[in-house]
Amino acid sequence: MRIMGFLGPQGTHSEAAALYLNAQLPEKRKLAAYPEIYAAMQAVVNGEIDECLVPVENSLEGSINITLDTLAHSDVLEVGMELIWSVHNQLMAKYPDVPIKKIFSHAQPLSQCRTYLKTYYAAAELVPVASTSRAAGIVAQGDAGCAAICTKRAGELYDLQTMATEIQDNMENCTRFYLLQRRGDVGANEISDKALIICQIDGSHAGSLCEVLQEFGNRDVNMTRIESRPARTKLGAYIFFFDLETKTSIKNLESSIEAVRQKSIWLKNLGKFPVLRGKP
């Protein structure tokens, strides 16, 4: 049985997404929790597990940098699938009748619920921790006056009471996950919606990024996302991530990628993959 890693522990949004995805796959996986995104990705690189489901971007808070940076500097990983997961945040406490003075959660949900927290708990101390499940565990063992922003499942696991539901600032809040695997571990996807390429462009050349973008536009290849990250080599050096739709002709897509490769210092093609949209 294949093993799928995810950002643990039990009760996180990542576990909820992994459980959902596992239910959709024709071949079921054994799920393995990891304490950090990097640890889950490295477990795939090292061959300890077959794949991992890791967050790459939240619709409110933007990209997950550790995921992007690790992908950029790996020659082993490729994308097998993308999952768009609807995020629901709940405020939970062990003693709901006691005024809340501290609120624990992962940094992302704290930011995703910024307006709600300012409106109802402006005086409360916000404490970022490793995961939403960890926040629930702390509150379950802590003093009165503490609450956690977490998933419904995390609250149930730690016997917490619901104080408020759906407290995210935007009801369309969602996170994109990549299912990552080792290159060549499984066959090419028969159905694909997107492709991901990562490259470094010589920024000292005026118009270099524009020239790259024209290679896509001239071949009717639609770019749905562009992201830049520091190359971590010197100041001013950047790596670019391009999400490309694959509904154009394969010939046009492949020729545009090859043309961009010729204009790049280096380029990695992380494959073509389907996109699945799921809800809790």
Interval 62-107: pLDDT, tens:
889 999 999 999 999 999 999 999 888 999 999 989 999 999 998 8
- Is pLDDT larger for residue 40 or for residue 12? 40
User: pLDDT at position 121, please?
Assistant: 96
In a domain, 116, yes or no: yes
- Say yes or no: 100 and 151 in one domain: yes
Number of structural domains the chain divides into? 3
Helix axis angle, 37-45 relative to 65-72, nearest 10°? Answer: 20
In a domain, 70, yes or no: yes
Instruction: Report whether the peptide linkage leading into residue 99 is cis, meaning its omega lies within 30 degrees of zero.
Output: no
Q: Is 187 helix (H, G, I), strand (E, B) or coil?
A: coil
Q: What is the CATH number of the domain that holds 66?
A: 3.40.190.10
Domain assignment of residue 113, given as a range: 90-164
- Say yes or no: 78 and 180 in one domain: yes
* 3-7 and 51-58 strand pairing: parallel
* Mean pLDDT across 181-206: 82
CA distance linking residue 279 with residue 16, whole number of Å: 10
Structure tokens belonging to residue 36 = 């950090």
CA distance linking residue 117 with residue 140, whole number of Å: 20
- Say yes or no: 130 and 74 in one domain: no
Structure tokens belonging to residue 67 = 């995921």
**In the predicted model, is pLDDT for residue 25 greater than 80?**
yes
The pTM of the whole model exceeds 0.75: yes
Q: What is the CATH number of the domain that holds 260?
A: 3.30.70.260
In a domain, 215, yes or no: yes
- Say yes or no: 177 and 218 in one domain: no
Residue % of the chain over a pLDDT of 90 = 67
- Say yes or no: 24 and 140 in one domain: no
| Residue 266 Cα distances to 193, 256, 263, angstroms | 24, 15, 9
Lowest mean pLDDT among 9-13, 21-25, 232-236, 262-266: 232-236
In a domain, 14, yes or no: yes
User: pLDDT at position 108, please?
Assistant: 85
In a domain, 13, yes or no: yes
In a domain, 257, yes or no: yes
- Say yes or no: 102 and 75 in one domain: no
CA distance linking residue 138 with residue 205, whole number of Å: 52
Its sign, for the CA torsion 31, 32, 37, 40, is negative
In a domain, 279, yes or no: no
User: pLDDT at position 208, please?
Assistant: 84
CB 100 within 8 A of CB 86: no
Domain boundary among 121, 149, 184: 184
In a domain, 189, yes or no: no
- Say yes or no: 141 and 177 in one domain: no
- Say yes or no: 60 and 178 in one domain: yes
Virtual torsion, Cα 175, 179, 182, 186, nearest 10 deg? -150
Lowest mean pLDDT among 19-23, 30-34, 170-174: 170-174
**In the predicted model, is pLDDT for residue 280 greater than 70?**
no
- Say yes or no: 77 and 143 in one domain: no
pLDDT tens profile 136-189? 999 999 888 999 999 998 999 999 999 999 999 887 788 999 999 998 877 666
Q: Which residues touch 177 (CB under 8 Å, ≥6 apart)?
A: 14, 17, 21, 53, 54, 55, 56, 82, 83, 84, 85
Output phi, psi for 105, to 5 deg: -175, 175
Q: Which residues touch 5 (CB under 8 Å, ≥6 apart)?
A: 31, 32, 33, 34, 40, 43, 44, 49, 51, 52, 53
Could you tell me the end-to-end alpha-carbon distance of the chain, in angstroms, rounded to an integer? Answer: 25
- Say yes or no: 65 and 25 in one domain: yes
- Is pLDDT larger for residue 193 or for residue 278? 193
- Say yes or no: 177 and 154 in one domain: no
* 51-58 and 174-182 strand pairing: antiparallel
- Say yes or no: 114 and 83 in one domain: no
Query: Mean pLDDT in the chain?
Result: 90
User: pLDDT at position 146, please?
Assistant: 95
